[in-house]
Amino acid sequence: MNFHLKPLDLSALANDKTDILLVFVTDDFKPAADALSGWIDTTVKHGDFRAKSGASLELYRPTDLQCKRLVLLSLGPGHAADTKKMLSTALTRLKSTEPRQLTLSFLSKPTDAVLRAALSTLCDVSYVYTTTKSKAEVRSLHRVDIFAPLDQALRNTFTQAVATIQGVELAREWGNRPANHATPAKLAQAARALAEFPNTRCKVLGPKAVAALGMGAFQAVAQGSDEPLRFIELRYQGTTKSTAPVVLVGKGVTFDSGGISIKPAAEMDEMKFDMCGAASVLGVFQALGQLQPKINVVGLIPACENLPSGRSVKPGDVVTSMSGQTIEVLNTDAEGRLILCDALTYAARFKPCAVVDIATLTGACVIALGSVRSGLFCNDAALSAALQQAGETSLDPCWSMPLDDEYAQGLKTAFADVANVAGRPGGAITGAKFLQRFAGKAPWAHLDIAGTAWNSGKDKGATGRPVGLLVAYLMALAGKRV
């Protein structure tokens, strides 16, 4: 989809031959002499449209306007959440008209949050998955023009929002692909394609190189599958080599059956989404490639399948991680933390300023926070605050969770340095406490996206979260360093 930002011109809007002209009207609207203002003024005077939050009106081929459909939406006080809800309702209703071009106009300068909300909603509603369909109905919408009173700050917001959207869509695409179309090898190919961007490199390690590194926990998860594991390393260098990078670590279990501790059959198909943490890292690098911020970022993706076979790791097995710590695998369905712990150890070689891992880690986090906020576990107050602020800014929110040492008591075992599970109580926290053992000295955060990475039911599909949060965090950090 192509986006174009243009300065507000009411005459140009009246002559725009777009399929849908969508106009946001605020409380302080004052009509001018142009045809569009005349239509708005007439509908208000006759009581057909009210300039209050939530009001909407659709007109087909209005006289003196060149658009096929005119849609008036009232922003009211102009909250981003209202914008998202209102626009989603309108676009869902109009989707069946299969518009190719849409014009979105703000009659007064929108806030950054409102503009981001509008653009992301446009993409969410118009998104169509097509990769594995023989007769797919492709996305009809190809061009979106945005008219608004402009300044440089709004232009910058627009640029970042468009790049973020494209990153979100890449993450959604790979999250939605079935496991046989998103193997570890195919995920590595997707990462290599990102190296075509300036200042971006990609390195992929196979089973022999991973074994040489001593990643015994990662290998243990992968050994039950015939699909060879891949360890993916992406590097974006936007500033001097001496500048410490942020390291993003994405869980890349491309299908999770639970292994020997096998999951119930019902809804197991959704375990193709268990690599959404990895997909979010790909999405972030897509956005970085376009935005080219002055920051260094490393992306690490341990990618494998977790399947039962005669070679699979068994409950009670003890494996040795890259850090040298031994782990008793009490539950083979708690595999994400096993592949992540080795990746976190590997991350230390980059001497990072911060490490953030992203994982569909625990069902317990879904119970705790539902699908609204991702769980945030962090050992550094400044990093936690920055991620929470980025989440609010990007409408991709998270919620800070505790990391008290007492939660780690259940991970003790007589047969290894640590067990990989600690029972059901506080399961999201004990999972984070396990990862914290391998986080190293840098400020570290863990985002549990089990509740936010995909939707179930009739709207089943990947959401692309938390690409928005991560891009907002990285861009804010880059801005502070300029």
Secondary element (H or E) of residue 436: helix 427-436
Is 395:120 a contact under the CB 8 Å cutoff? yes
How far is it, in rounded angstroms, from Cα 275 to Cα 278?
A: 5
| Strand ranges in 206-353 using DSSP code E only, listed in sequence order | 230-237, 246-250, 252-256, 296-306, 317-320, 326-329
CA dist., res. 277 & res. 262, Å (int):
21
The strand ranges marked E within 174-258 are 200-205, 230-237, 246-250, 252-256
3-state secondary structure at position 32: coil
- Residue among 172, 230, 251, 337 flagged as catalytic: 337
- Does 263 qualify as catalytic in the annotation? yes
Instruction: Establish whether 460 is a catalytic residue.
Output: no
d(CA 204, CA 188): 7
Q: Helices H, strands E: what count in the chain?
A: 14, 20
> From the CB of residue 437, how many other CB atoms can be counted at a distance below 10 Å?
18
Q: Distance between CA atoms of 52 and 298, rounded to whole angstroms?
A: 46
Whole-number Cα distances in Å, 408 to 118, 376, 428:
43, 17, 12
Tokens (6 digits) for 98 = 């299969």
Please identify which residue in the block is written with the tokens 């003790």: 412
Residues 71 and 48: beta-carbon distance below 8 Å: no
CA 430 – CA 49 distance, rounded (Å) = 53
- Angstrom distance (rounded) from CA 172 to CA 315: 33
Tell me the catalytic residues: 263, 337
